[in-house]
A and B are shown apart, each in its own frame.
Chain A
Amino acid sequence: MPTFNDILVLLPEFYLVAAACLLLLLDAFMKPEQRGVLHWISIAVLLVAIYLVIAGQPPETVTAFGGMFVRDRAAEILKVFSLLSVVLVFIYSRPYLVDRKLFQGEFYTVMIFAVIGVMLLVSAGNLVMIYLGLELLTLSSYGLVALNRDSPLSSEAAMKYFVLGALSSGMLLYGMSMVYGAAGTLDLAALHGATAHAGMPHLMLFGLIFMLVGIAFKLGAAPFHMWIPDVYQGASTPVTTFIASASKLAAFGMAYRLLEGGMADLAHYWQPMLAVIAVLSMAIGNLVAIVQTNLKRMLAYSTISHMGYLIIGLVNAGPEGYSAAMFYAISYALMATAAFGVILALARAGFECEEIDDFKGLNQRSPWMAFLMMLAMFSLAGVPPLYGFFAKYLVLQAAIDAHMLWLAIVGVVFAIIGLYYYLRVVKMMYFDKAEEGVLTKLQPDATLRVVLSLNALVLVALGIYWGPLLGWCKQAFVG
């Protein structure tokens, strides 16, 4: 029976649900010209949620609602960073939304609902909770992509995302039902013990494969990456930023819960499968990104390749590998918010600033923005001493530890290939002349500029001083 203590464990989630519902009401009763306040209220709500997650952190792993919900260190870290990335998304997107008359309360409430989905997903202790958390997150994401309803590109992206997302949910659910049939339990902790000597090992493996498809789709790893480029390009840039940051942290959390939480005994089966997915993602992501002319599309392919690196960490299937993968997921979220943040800062009404050519000669127009973008690009490429380099380094280290030297070598080769398209952006910003007619003025929003600068500079700071964050990530899986 659920007790009051169960509710206390879920305090941050319940608080966010209540806050999102109140925001919804507030939005409905507000005059249109007052709605600007919603922006600040939403940010405050999320900051309080971050405080609740950190302050209420139990000394050791706690479960609630009969094992449905697990609150451990790994979940806490993922929650803090996904909430943080949504705060960044809110700050970056306000001028963009106002310029395009997309500023409405639903953007904020639906995104808060999505982040509740993230929090539930990374804390799931049961297959049912994994599925429901994922649905809450993806349903909100479909809505957010479609919210820019006057743009045919957005509608198309939302439709593709919805159809493919429904298909992958179906696959995941199918796999779960097979696993349930084989093991007779939905509880991940119980599955952990039951997988090795389940009555029907083939049924178990069958289910595992389908669940892997679901995970790969959610991460956006090849060969289940088809939706990523269209959704990244079609969605309005704030939503793309969300999908590239918080959503990826959630996907890592889901993969960790399913693979380590439930299927650890079958690791020798899923390790090679994940290795193949990792190689395919790195290859397709890095090679196709080279020919892109649209920056958002290029970053989409870059996401695919980054998910390949993240999966290398998972292939290790040990605490070192998981901590490396989590470190990587966090680094990717921060890098993606910085890169998309620059796009949002440069975009004006009627000018999306999403073609790579729009960045030509940015250094002459705005040296500081060009510098921030350069930091983001170098970090994504994995140039030392930036954050992205150490994230890649740890992941490759994890592959070598797992006696998969070939995987590490493939990773390095594709990282070098990937350098090309990141450096191309930097070259255009610094060495090309701006085209005629490109708008030169920046978004005047001071908060955006300050926070964006901090976000990009953190990439340098964490690249130099990465010990504490890595320490947290390790603590989450070792202790």
Chain B
Amino acid sequence: MINLQVFELVCFYAFAVITVGAALAVITLRNTVHAVLALVLTFFSTACIWMLAEAEFLAIALIVVYVGAVMVLFLFVVMMLDIDQEKLREGFVKFLPVGLIVAVVMLVEMLALIGVRAMHAQAMGVNPATAAGQSNTAWLGTALYTNYLLPFEIAALILTVGVVVAVALTLRQRHSAKYQMASEQVSVNPRDRIRIVKMDAVRPVEPVVAAAPEQESKP
């Protein structure tokens, strides 16, 4: 049986080394796609370290939000900005090794993590969440909405300012542009748009017997 604390320490150092190495790769790699992939690895390893520190919610949020959403967006942007068409086409094979390495390292990290979690190691001191008899997420939520309520609200305010400024900077009202006015569309009177014409269902066909042969004989 391995000493639990030693194993946890080894895991921590391994994750830390990978985090720092990947972060270095982000700023040193010339290929932007590689750099983004390295950034993914940085986030993932950081999440693993947080998991070791029993901050499950933060770790999962980091993976779901950053790795899952933001980084994929990054990758799209980087790939879209890449003007070199040839590079793009050969991308899959070229990026495959790096992608594979990132994936393998992540897998190993996850396995190690599951191992540590399964053995319920307690090397990081008393976790306030455990001490309170709550899950990490519940404890975090309680702290966020009681002791840290004011900072939480101000963070919301900062996001509001971000949205306001983003709209102010990008919205250009062009007078030549055509807009749909939903309110006008809804409140339109059908009579203004469609003219209903009364006409007989059956109309006697006028005899055209006299004209037909004349047309046919022309060519």
Contacts and interface: CB of A to CB of B under 8 A. Distances in A.
Partners in one complex: yes
A139 B165 contact: yes
A24 B161 contact: no
B161 A143 contact: yes
A143 B165 contact: yes
Report which residue of B150, B154, B155 has the largest number of chain A beta carbons within 10 angstroms of its beta carbon: B150
Given A104-B168, A132-B155, A113 B150 contact: no
Contacts of B147: 65-66
B150 A68 contact: yes
A136 B161 contact: yes
Nearest to A28: B167
Counting chain B residues whose Cβ lies within 8 A of the other chain, the interface size class is 10 to 19
Contact of A136 (B148, B157, B164, B167): B157
Contacts of B151: 68, 126, 128-129, 132
A149 interface: yes
B162 A139 contact: yes
A109 interface: yes
A1 B161 contact: no
B164 A109 contact: yes
Interface in A132-162: 132-133, 135-136, 139-140, 142-143, 146-147, 149
Contacts of A113: 157, 160-161, 164
A143 B161 CA distance: 9
A139 B161 contact: yes
Nearest to A109: B164
A9 to B, nearest CB: 11
A113 B159 CA distance: 11
Nearest to B155: A132
Given A146-B169, A147-B168, A135 B158 contact: yes
A69 interface: yes
Contacts of A126: 151
Interface residues of A, number: 32
B169 A140 contact: no
Contact of A132 (B146, B158, B167): B158
A50 interface: no
Contacts of B168: 104, 106, 110, 143, 147
A67 B134 CA distance: 25
Contacts, number: 67
B165 A110 contact: yes
How would you classify the secondary structure of chain A's contact residues: helix, strand, loop or mixed?
helix
A1 B164 contact: no
B161 A65 contact: no
B149 interface: yes
A24 B169 contact: no
Contacts of A66: 147
A143 B154 CA distance: 18
A113 to B, nearest CB: 5
B77 to A, nearest CB: 17
Interface in A90-138: 104, 106, 109-110, 113, 116, 120, 126, 128-129, 132-133, 135-136
Given A66-B147, A68-B151, A143 B158 contact: no
Contacts of B158: 132, 135-136, 139
A17 interface: yes
B164 A110 contact: yes
Nearest to A113: B161
Given A132-B154, A149-B169, A2 B149 contact: yes
Contacts of A147: 165, 168-169
Nearest to B170: A149
B161 A140 contact: yes
B151 to A, nearest CB: 5
Interface string A217-254: 00000000000000000000000000000000000000
Interface string B155-191: 1011011101101110000000000000000000000
Contact of B150 (A21, A24, A65, A146): A65
Contact of B165 (A21, A106, A120, A132): A106
A410 B154 CA distance: 42
A263 to B, nearest CB: 20
A69 to B, nearest CB: 6
B187 to A, nearest CB: 19
A2 B167 CA distance: 34
A385 B75 CA distance: 62
Given A128-B151, A132-B154, A135-B158, A2 B165 contact: no
B154 A133 contact: yes
Nearest to B154: A132
A64 B147 CA distance: 10
Contacts of B150: 2, 10, 64-65, 68-69, 129
Contacts of A133: 154
A265 to B, nearest CB: 25
Interface in A71-104: 104
A337 B162 CA distance: 27
24 contacts: A1-B146, A2-B149, A2-B150, A17-B157, A64-B150, A68-B150, A68-B151, A104-B168, A110-B164, A110-B165, A113-B160, A113-B161, A113-B164, A120-B154, A129-B150, A129-B151, A136-B158, A136-B161, A139-B158, A142-B165, A143-B168, A146-B169, A147-B168, A147-B169
Interface of A: 1-2, 10, 17, 21, 24, 64-66, 68-69, 104, 106, 109-110, 113, 116, 120, 126, 128-129, 132-133, 135-136, 139-140, 142-143, 146-147, 149
Given A64-B150, A139-B161, 17 more contacts: A10-B150, A17-B157, A24-B164, A66-B147, A69-B150, A104-B168, A110-B164, A110-B165, A113-B161, A129-B150, A136-B154, A136-B157, A139-B158, A142-B165, A143-B161, A143-B168, A147-B169
Interface of B: 146-151, 154-155, 157-158, 160-162, 164-165, 167-169
**What are the 8 tightest A-B residue pairs by CB atom distance, in nearest-first order?**
A143-B165, A106-B168, A65-B150, A132-B154, A128-B151, A68-B150, A113-B161, A136-B158
